[in-house]
């Protein structure tokens, strides 16, 4: 019995040793952010639904991320007074400061290079949405059939929220993504490790039961 169990135990140990955290695929898209005090928060509404107030700062960042918790934030200056310094207030309108971060070369679609990031101050009607403000300062915009924002100022030329295969976290990934991946790796044992431990425990219990049975059968 012990000889028959040995190969299974070895296989389980190999499973444990080789088990590692699975890499989830990411998506390449424009994320939308609100400026809350001195930091960015992921917007809870899409740009076509959000209606910013006069003096608000909002941002867009193009990157590859798994979800909102992993998404990279816009970079650069994000102060309303600085962005809208050259756009005085006007009765019957509102001003919305926009931060446009086109991302990094690592996140760019094949054959494209991200433009330099920039800011813009949109003067729009009081009931305008963020999408209206964006259209006023960053055309051409591109949307898909489900109203997902695909391109700002013509970037990227193609694609819209497409899935991107997992890649080496140490090569090309942003600092934000590497930190997120590191945090996920430290969150607990992988499924393969748990499964391997369970197999070893089950086989050990079976071996012990068989040994007791043989001793009882041959006093």
Structural domain harbouring 195: 2-20+190-217
**Domain co-membership, 131 together with 86:** yes
Confidence of residue 50 (pLDDT cuts 50, 70, 90): very high
Return the half-sphere exposure (C-beta side, CA atoms, 13 A cut-off) of residue 187. Answer: 12
**Domain co-membership, 146 together with 42:** yes
| Mean predicted lDDT score pLDDT of the chain | 78
Overall pTM > 0.75: no
* For residue 9, pLDDT beyond 50: no
Cross-strand partners of 94? 124
66 belongs to a structural domain: yes
Residue 113 vs residues 65, 105, 154, 169: alpha-carbon distances, Å: 18, 6, 12, 21
Q: How does pLDDT run across 144-163, given as a tens digit for each residue?
A: 999 999 999 999 999 999 99
75 belongs to a structural domain: yes
Calculate the dihedral angle through the C-alpha atoms of 137, 142, 146, 149, rounding to the nearest 10 degrees. Answer: -50
**Domain co-membership, 162 together with 196:** no
52 belongs to a structural domain: yes
Last residue of a domain, one of 152, 167, 182: 167
Helices (H) and strands (E) in the chain, counts: 5, 8
* For residue 217, pLDDT beyond 70: no
211 belongs to a structural domain: yes
Q: How does pLDDT run across 61-119, given as a tens digit for each residue?
A: 999 998 888 899 999 889 999 999 999 999 999 999 999 999 999 999 999 999 999 99
d(C-alpha 207, C-alpha 213), whole Å: 10
- 41 vs 208: which has the higher pLDDT: 41
């Amino acid at each position: 019995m012990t000889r028959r169990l040995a190969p299974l135990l070895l296989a389980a140990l190999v499973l444990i040793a080789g088990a590692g955290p699975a890499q989830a695929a990411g998506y390449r898209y424009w994320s939308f952010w609100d400026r809350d005090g001195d930091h960015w928060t992921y917007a809870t509404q899409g740009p076509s639904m959000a209606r910013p107030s006069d003096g608000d700062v909002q941002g867009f960042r193009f990157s590859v991320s798994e979800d909102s918790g992993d998404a990279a934030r816009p970079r650069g200056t994000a102060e309303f007074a600085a962005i809208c310094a050259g756009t005085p207030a006007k009765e019957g309108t509102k001003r919305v400061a926009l931060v446009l971060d086109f991302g990094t070369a690592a996140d760019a679609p094949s054959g494209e290079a991200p433009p330099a990031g920039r800011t813009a101050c949109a003067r729009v009607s009081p009931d305008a949405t963020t999408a209206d403000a964006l259209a006023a300062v960053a055309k051409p915009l591109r949307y898909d059939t489900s109203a997902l924002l695909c391109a700002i100022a013509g970037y990227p030329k193609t694609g819209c929220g497409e899935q991107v295969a997992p890649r080496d976290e140490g090569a090309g990934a942003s600092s934000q993504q590497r930190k997120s991946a590191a945090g996920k790796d430290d969150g607990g044992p992988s499924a393969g490790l748990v499964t391997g431990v369970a197999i070893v425990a089950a086989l050990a219990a079976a071996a012990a039961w068989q040994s007791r049975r043989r001793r009882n059968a041959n006093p």
